[in-house]
């Protein structure tokens, strides 16, 4: 027999799971008082299921774990006002007899199990019942309506499964009959959230008629087989016509004008596409300054991207320039990582050399540390050379900036004189 986990250990496991968010996203729980040494009182929350009247709602509960937990279930009490079958409307306490996980409690169950059971067994049964409100509703009238709605849900699911079973019994010789299964699935998912009682009754009536038709066709009735094939072809034709109509309608609709932000974003995207490759007529940046320019002279700005110098003429900068800078930075970073890795490996290499000297009782001409030191020196040399080149490039670019400034000042003086 497996050993039982003590109460406090079990609660510590649940506390760690709840605080780190390792459980389900649909619920959460934690201690009500961090100084509670017995870890008896807890707070829990249940997130309402999506696509339901409970969507974006958070339901708060209080959980009390007695001294005999987890041998016996905890007590649950809703703080938020709800109107569901297993909750006492006056006290907000959950009736253990009406919630399966509490009625059939097992030691392996946790507080998360209870919260998920409440959400799955109660809230998700109500997620399409739009008339059922959790606040300000008449309990007696609501229970009657809920019972009718639940009865229709059970009937709908049973009818849906029966229709799919009958589809599997249709002969394979007629391709149109095989398309009836996908048609039934499509219609079910389209109308499964009906709320109108009259529409629900009509849908069930049509479903039972379809079930009789499929049964007759599976028994060999040629007339009913032909009728099913005709219905499937008509449905496919209607879908095709609807798709074509939507396509024509979409082509006639005037596109929505772009906002200023969207226009700027689109312009930036097009500029990046245009400048993805270097222009064939582009001149080296160090060939500046140009003696003659069209319009006002743009003075470049010397910028350093983590040690990589470049001249920015205007914003946004060309995509090919960004790619060159990124490539240089990646290459430099790989060298730095290699230098750090070799710095650690040379320590192990020295230990290997010491061990060889002790065991072989002689000094070898080629050592482990010597080869790694060569590689380390090579990396350091490459880094120093690249840094020196970047420094020289930055100085040359700065001379370009000074020359551009000088020419810009001279051109401005000429323009002011001509005025």
Greater pLDDT, 232 or 337: 337
**135-149 average pLDDT score:** 49
Q: What pLDDT, on the 0 to 100 scale, is given for residue 2?
A: 57
Residue 30 has pLDDT above 70, yes or no: yes
> What is the Cα–Cα distance from 358 to 381, expressed in whole angstroms?
33
Peptide bond into 248 cis (omega under 30): no
Q: What pLDDT, on the 0 to 100 scale, is given for residue 58?
A: 80
Can you name the residues that pair with 46 across neighbouring β-strands? Answer: 27, 59
Give tens-digit pLDDT for 339-376: 999 999 999 999 888 888 888 776 677 888 888 999 99
Helix 222-252 and helix 197-218: axis angle, to 10°?
130
Q: For residue 36, which phi and psi values (nearest 5 degrees)?
A: -75, 100
**396-418 average pLDDT score:** 89
Percent of the chain clearing pLDDT 70 (strictly above) = 87
Q: What pLDDT, on the 0 to 100 scale, is given for residue 236?
A: 84
Q: What pLDDT, on the 0 to 100 scale, is given for residue 64?
A: 92
Q: Is residue 136 very low, low, confident or very high in pLDDT (cuts 50, 70, 90)? A: very low
Per 3-state DSSP, the chain is made up of helix, strand and coil in percentages (nearest 5) of 60, 10, 35
Q: What pLDDT, on the 0 to 100 scale, is given for residue 140?
A: 45
Nearest Cα neighbor of 253 from 263, 264, 245 is 245
Residue 120 has pLDDT above 90, yes or no: no
Give tens-digit pLDDT for 167-192: 888 877 666 677 788 888 888 888 77
Per-chain mean pLDDT for the chain: 81
Q: Which residue is listed with tokens 């309506």?
A: 145
> What is the Cα–Cα distance from 253 to 250, expressed in whole angstroms?
5
**269-277 average pLDDT score:** 81
**59-87 average pLDDT score:** 86
Q: What pLDDT, on the 0 to 100 scale, is given for residue 177?
A: 72
Q: What pLDDT, on the 0 to 100 scale, is given for residue 134?
A: 39
Residue 213 has pLDDT above 80, yes or no: yes
Q: What pLDDT, on the 0 to 100 scale, is given for residue 137?
A: 42
**147-164 average pLDDT score:** 73
The DSSP-derived string for 334-395 is HHHHHHHHHHHHHHHHHHHHHHHHHHH-S--SS-HHHHHHHHHHHHHHHHHHHHHHHHHHHH
pTM for this prediction:
0.39
Q: Is residue 385 very low, low, confident or very high in pLDDT (cuts 50, 70, 90)? A: very high
Of 45-59, 82-96, 394-408, which has the strongest mean pLDDT? Answer: 394-408
> What is the Cα–Cα distance from 176 to 407, expressed in whole angstroms?
81
> What is the Cα–Cα distance from 81 to 77, expressed in whole angstroms?
10
- 47-51, 132-136, 227-231: least confidently modelled range: 132-136
Residue 141 has pLDDT above 70, yes or no: no
Nearest Cα neighbor of 331 from 386, 265, 369 is 386
Give tens-digit pLDDT for 79-116: 877 777 788 888 888 888 888 888 889 888 888 888 88
Give tens-digit pLDDT for 318-335: 888 888 899 999 999 999
> What is the Cα–Cα distance from 410 to 407, expressed in whole angstroms?
5
Q: Is-contact 123 46, C-beta < 8 A?
A: yes
- 278-287, 304-313, 397-406: least confidently modelled range: 278-287
């Amino acid at each position: 027999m497996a050993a039982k986990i003590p109460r406090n250990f079990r609660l510590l496991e649940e506390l760690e799971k709840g605080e780190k968010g390792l459980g389900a996203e649909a619920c959460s729980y934690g201690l009500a008082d961090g100084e509670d040494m017995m870890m008896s009182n807890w707070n829990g929350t249940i997130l309402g299921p999506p696509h339901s009247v409970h969507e974006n709602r958070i339901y708060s509960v209080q959980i009390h774990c007695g001294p005999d937990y987890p041998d016996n279930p905890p007590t649950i009490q809703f703080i938020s006002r709800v109107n569901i079958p297993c909750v006492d409307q006056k006290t907000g306490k959950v009736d253990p007899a009406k919630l399966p996980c509490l009625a059939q409690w097992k030691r392996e169950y946790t507080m998360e199990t209870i919260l998920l059971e409440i959400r799955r067994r109660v809230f998700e049964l109500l997620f399409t019942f739009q008339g059922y409100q959790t606040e300000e509703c008449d309990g007696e009238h609501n229970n009657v309506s809920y019972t009718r709605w639940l009865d229709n849900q059970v009937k709908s699911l049973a009818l849906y499964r029966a229709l799919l079973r009958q589809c599997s019994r249709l002969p394979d010789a007629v391709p149109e009959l095989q398309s009836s299964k996908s048609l039934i699935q499509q219609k079910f998912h389209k109308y499964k959230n009906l709320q109108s009682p009259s529409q629900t009754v009509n849908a069930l009536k049509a479903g039972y008629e379809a079930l009789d038709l499929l049964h007759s066709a599976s028994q060999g009735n040629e007339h009913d087989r032909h009728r099913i094939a005709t219905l499937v072809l008509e449905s496919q034709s209607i879908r095709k016509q609807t798709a074509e109509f939507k396509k024509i309608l979409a082509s006639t609709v005037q596109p929505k004008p772009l906002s200023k932000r969207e226009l700027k974003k689109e312009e930036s995207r097009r500029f990046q596409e245009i400048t993805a490759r270097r222009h064939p007529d582009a001149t080296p940046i160090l060939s500046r300054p140009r003696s003659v320019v069209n319009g006002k002279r743009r003075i470049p700005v010397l910028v350093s991207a983590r040690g990589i110098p470049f001249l920015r003429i205007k914003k946004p900068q060309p995509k090919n320039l960004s790619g060159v800078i990124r490539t240089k930075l990646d290459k430099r970073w790989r060298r730095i990582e290699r230098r750090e890795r070799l710095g650690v490996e040379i320590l192990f290499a020295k230990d290997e050399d010491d061990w060889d000297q002790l065991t072989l009782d002689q000094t070898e001409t080629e050592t482990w540390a010597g080869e790694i030191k060569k590689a380390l020196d090579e990396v350091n040399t490459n880094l120093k050379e690249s840094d020196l080149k970047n420094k020289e490039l930055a100085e040359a670019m700065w001379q370009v900036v000074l020359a551009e400034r000088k020419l810009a000042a001279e051109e401005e003086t000429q323009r002011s004189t001509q005025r």
